[in-house]
Structure 1
Amino acid sequence: MRVPNSVVLPVGTHVDCCQEQEVAEKTHDIMARITAMLMERKSNLAHFIDNLEGSEEPKFYVDQWERLKEMESCTLTILNLVAVNCTDHRDIKKLEATILEHVKNEELFPEVVRVLPPVYRQVEAAIVDIARSEEMADHGMMDLQYLLSKLSQRKHLAGLGRELLQDILRYLHRIGLVVWYEEIKHLESTVFLQPTFLITMFKVSVGIRTISSTEPKP
């Protein structure tokens, strides 16, 4: 919901564990729950905004009001749920075809054919090069300002500014090339150039926690 004009394709799995009638019923139930959730969210946001606007000192809540209005403007398009039998390769291919069909729909994604400025590709290539260099640590973490300085050392990126780099990082974060949690205060100045390492660490952390929770306590 943080991304304006988001598009969500619900996917239901384990169809092979259900009867045909059950699949239809569960599909209807899931879509109904999603609709109810969105309506509740819209109602709650309107309620919070009204409360702030009706407060005795509204000027003290300008930041909150702006944030809520921003959230209110984030529209969400829910596509029809796709039920998939994960044990059937044909169903997987059907899901792939459905996703591709939706992605090519310019009504859903009006900017799908937009051509990126050359500097986006140049920064992307440079970051890939930096991530693969011998001086890059395995964890792939790099300070945002240091990354900017490294990129600026390249002739074709000498004029790269911080704001433009941040825009490009948002794009690279969306496509999964890097991970940048700009909304988290303690991580906003850190860019992860090796997302796979971060994913591995998450898996290890979850694995350790799971093992610890299953061990008998003395």
Structure 2
Amino acid sequence: MLGKVLHINPTSDYQGNSKRRGRGGALKTVLRSFNQNSDYSDISAASNFLRKTNWLINQLNQGEDTLNLDFSIDEFRIKVDVDLRDLSKLSRLLYTVHQMGKDKQTTNSFVAVVSIDIIEKPRNLYEPKFKLDTIREFFSRIKDLKISSDISRYDTSLINILLEGIINNLYNEFKLLNFAIIEFIRVLTLQEISGKTEPTEVYDAITIEKIYSLKG
């Protein structure tokens, strides 16, 4: 496994300081150190995979135990942390999502933390298209509700209102993100991650862990 892979953009929070760069040169992965279990070809393959997703990579850190990935798709800033200590037991990914304005300033004062099961990737899925229309609708609903305080997974009545009629599509959009991130981890670490079968109930596979407001 790599000792540390870094791609650092000086902006590391959701306070509206990010400057978007051209997609063509968005990902410049810098190798700091690696051990005998990895070589440059592993890093190059992982970098090439992220380029194909057409994501804007804001930050990429890999330590001995954790992979931290911070990226943007359209107006969404998305962060995910992956525990690398035992990938065979990895069953869920946790996303922190914030919607930014066209000027990369805050357009929605809320951040959503969402966890989703890792599902076995279908064989016929080659290059998923990342359309976040339902995530966009989800944030629009948060804004329309004029929520005055943080929401936890236990505020089921509010969460049910937010998810009504869109939960299946929301799950599918996060599931495609999962497929891409798991494939990136596989290419980077040369380890396989086994996914679950498709759930019979979508509510069992995706959880709105928290919705909180940004202060200041």
TM-score range, shorter chain: under 0.3
Structure number with the higher strand fraction is 2
In our comparison, the structure showing a higher alpha carbon Rg is 1
